Chain A
């Protein structure tokens, strides 16, 4: 069983819509959860971190964590073409980080 699982996509949404990205993790000892955005040919960029159950909002981005279900999601409101990228879910347990394989998002103008 993989530590972190994401739907690989690709996910396509029209401009202005809400994009919903999902991630599950296998180890209940995971303590911190992150979303990274990676543009083609670039390095991953941290966009959200969440540590406790519930929602965390930052601008157009909302991260949601449900530790009971071992589920973390990222919502992108008012999606823009510039949001087109691969989104990586990561969890931290101890000092080790575990990454999903990423979900490719395309926002269609």
Chain B
């Protein structure tokens, strides 16, 4: 009964490199959400995806950030040309398609940009 699985748990990148964060939703869940959290701050919504579709990306920066949730495989949040300000915890969460579907979070991926 695996929960939401995220990897890597910790990622260190130098400025200008790319970061790829992966998320496998809970079994039976078809909705994936990505959030960013800076230390001592609240969760910031980034993007909401269903299989092969981006439903809402209103919280995602227009440049350098992209997300996908392919038909097969995990959802991926990609950050190109990382900068120090991208250092944060990135949480993935998943939900099923029912009206009251609860949201469950993964352990998070902590990105450090040197």
Question: Which residues on A are within 8 Å of B, measured CB to CB?
Answer: 31-32, 34, 36, 42-46, 49, 51, 88, 90, 92, 95-102
CB of B25 within 8 Å of the partner chain: no
Q: Is the CB of B48 within 8 A of A95?
A: yes
Interface of A is mostly: strand
Task: Please name all residues of chain A whose beta carbon is closer than 8 Å to the beta carbon of B104 when the two chains form the complex.
Answer: 46
Task: Please name all residues of chain B whose beta carbon is closer than 8 Å to the beta carbon of A34 when the two chains form the complex.
Answer: 102-103
Smallest distance from the beta carbon of A17 to chain B beta carbons, Å?
25
Question: Which residues on B are within 8 Å of A, measured CB to CB?
Answer: 31, 33, 35, 41-43, 45, 48, 55-56, 91, 93, 95, 97, 99-108
Q: Is the CB of A96 within 8 A of B43?
A: no
Task: Please name all residues of chain A whose beta carbon is closer than 8 Å to the beta carbon of B41 when the two chains form the complex.
Answer: 101
Contact of A90 among B99, B103, B107 (CB under 8 A): B103
**A100 and B42 contact, Cβ closer than 8 Å, known pairs A43-B91, A43-B106, A95-B55:** yes
Contact of B105 among A43, A92, A96, A101 (CB under 8 A): A43
Closest-by-CB residue of B relative to A95 is B31
Contact of B100 among A32, A43, A46, A101 (CB under 8 A): A32
Closest-by-CB residue of A relative to B41 is A101
How many angstroms from the CA of A36 to the CA of B91 in the assembled complex?
14
Task: Please name all residues of chain B whose beta carbon is closer than 8 Å to the beta carbon of A51 when the two chains form the complex.
Answer: 100
Smallest distance from the beta carbon of A90 to chain B beta carbons, Å?
7
